[in-house]
Structure 1
Amino acid sequence: MPDPTHGSAAAGERADQSVSARFTRLMNASTSRWGVLTDPPLVALASGVFLLVFLGALGRDAGPEVARALGVLVFAPISVALVVSVALRGARRAVVAWLARQPFPVENLNAVLNGLGEALEVTFVGAAPEAKELNVELDKVHPDAFVTGGVEDARTLDIRIGVVDSKRNPAATNHQRYARVRELVERVLVPLAERYPIQVVRVK
C-alpha cells in the first residue's frame, strides 16, 4: 500500500521546486488584493498628492494641528506599503502549500506571480474532454475564461485565463490573474480530474 506521508512529502518538494526560491516584492504582492498598496508608482503618487496638499496648507497659513495632520499623511502611503510588505513575507509558503494540495502539478506559476501568463495548458493522461463541456464549467468562473484550442494528439487543451492587463493599474490585475488561476484550478480542473485525469497544468 502506498505511503500517503511519502506522497505528501513528494508533492511538497515538487511544489517547492516549481516556484522561485525567493519571492520579489511583485510576486508577494500578486498573491493578495492588498498587494497593490505596495506598488511603488502608486505609493509615490499618493505621497506626492499629500505633499502638495501639505505645502498648500502651509502656504495658506493653516493652523499647526492641520499642518501636523497633513504632514503625517505625506508618509502614510509609505508606512502602509511597509506594513503590507511585511505582512506578505509569508506569501511563498502559502503558494507552495496551495500547489502541494493540488492532485496534479501546476507549473510555471512564477509567470502569473510576475504579472504574465494568458492561458493554462492542460495535459490529460488520456483523451481530453470536449471543449463545449469544459466551457460550461469555465463560464461559471468567468465568461472570459474558455477553451481556445488543443493539439493534434487530443490530450492537451488551452484555457484562456481571461484577465486583461490594466494600463492604469497593472498591479491590481496581477492579483486578479493569480486569483483567477486559482479559481480555474480549484473549481474546474480539480473536479474535472476525477473524470478526466490530468497529467499537468502549465501557465503559458
Structure 2
Amino acid sequence: MKKFVILVGIIIAQNAFSQEEKCGLKKSDFNIYKVGTEDLKCLAKNSDKRNTIFFTFASWCQPCLYHLPNFKKIEKFYNVDSYVLLMDNEGSERIKSAVDYVLKDYPEAKIVILKDREKKNGRKYKDFVKEITPSQYEVITDMSKYIVLNNSGEVQLVTNWKDNKEYPQWKDDTSTIKRIVLPLLEKK
C-alpha cells in the first residue's frame, strides 16, 4: 500500500512539474517557482483541469491565515489545479515562514511566488493586481484573493474584500466562495 501511495504522489508531482516546465518557469532562492501574470495564464492553459485557482497569501496577512483552509477544501471537491501564490519579495525571509506555514497542514500544496520587479518600487503586488483583474471587476489590492482562470488562460474571477457581503466578519469567506467562486468550477 505504501508503494502505491508513493507512486501516486510521484505521478501527481510529475504532472505539476510538467506544467511549470512547459511554461519555462524559474525557481526562486527558496526553490519555488516564480510567476507573473502571463505565467499564471500559461499554467492554466497547460493544466488538464477545466480551471486553475490561485490564492494570494502571505504569513503576515491575517485574512490569508483564516481563509487558507477554505481554499484548500476546494480542491477536495472540485476538479481544479490550485496554487498558493506568495506575495513577499523572492529573497525575503518571510517566504520561508509562509512556505513552512502552508506545508505544515498541506504538505502536497503547490506553492509559487510572485516575481519581483526589476525596479523595486514597492508596487509589485499593486501592479500584478491591476494586470490580472479583468476590466469588469474593481481593482482592489487586498490580500487573500481567489483568482480563477479557465483552461484557455482567461481570468474568470478575481475576488476582493467587498465580495464578502453576507458576513461582516472578515474571518469567514465561506459565503464568498459559495456565491461567486464555486459556480465557476467543475465538481469532481
Larger Rg: 1
Q: TM-score, normalised on structure 2?
A: 0.25
The structure with the largest strand share of the pair is 2
